[in-house]
Amino acid sequence: MEKVTVIIAKSDNNFMACVEGLEGFVCTAPTLEQLKQEVEEGVDFHIEGMKADDDPIPEIFQNEYEFDYKWDVESLLYYYDGIITRSALEKLTGINQRQLGHYATGRSKPRPIQSKKIEKALHSLGDELISVSL
């Protein structure tokens, strides 16, 4: 099954999603759960409209596919703000809290190496949490 990349970003009061390979498709929603539902329903609707207009359908959408959601750093930190503290993120990533705050508010964008550092730290935490038994 093909994977279709969906980029999640933060807009003023919502989350926004763009679907790679599907020009002109953007949707917004106030929560991540609603955004995912909007993407799934909206992509189908968008493709049906393309078919009705005799527009070419990108090859990836002509077979079975699943969505692969990818975050930008700002929206990820915004989403988990209050769940994972900046102090905890500093311990996990080695990036100071002030800089993490700049990333979370969009005042600055992390370099790719910093983004990977955050991603790797969160994956490591996830692996550790999955192995917990009580």
- Residue 1 pLDDT level (bands cut at 50, 70, 90): confident
Say yes or no: 82 and 108 in one domain: yes
**Which pLDDT score, from 0 to 100, does residue 63 have?**
87
Say yes or no: 6 and 61 in one domain: yes
Does the structure show a pLDDT above 90 at 34? yes
**What tokens appear for 103 in the block?**
């990333």
Say yes or no: 16 and 50 in one domain: yes
Rounded average pLDDT over 17-32? 92
- The total of structural domains in the chain comes to 2
What domain range includes position 124? 73-130
**Which pLDDT score, from 0 to 100, does residue 82 have?**
84
CA-closest candidate to residue 8, choices 31, 41, 45 = 31
**Which pLDDT score, from 0 to 100, does residue 13 have?**
82
Q: Are the beta carbons of 38 and 75 closer than 8 angstroms?
A: no
Of 41, 71, 101, the residue at which a domain comes to its end is: 71
Q: Which residues sit opposite 27 in a β-bridge?
A: 17
pLDDT in tens, 103-133: 998 899 999 999 999 999 999 999 999 999 9
**Which pLDDT score, from 0 to 100, does residue 109 have?**
93
Say yes or no: 80 and 65 in one domain: no
**Which pLDDT score, from 0 to 100, does residue 12 have?**
81
Say yes or no: 13 and 60 in one domain: yes
What are the residues whose beta carbons fall under 8 Å from the beta carbon of 83, sequence distance 6 or more? none
Single pTM value for the model: 0.80
pLDDT in tens, 46-100: 999 999 999 999 999 988 999 999 999 998 998 888 899 999 999 999 999 999 9
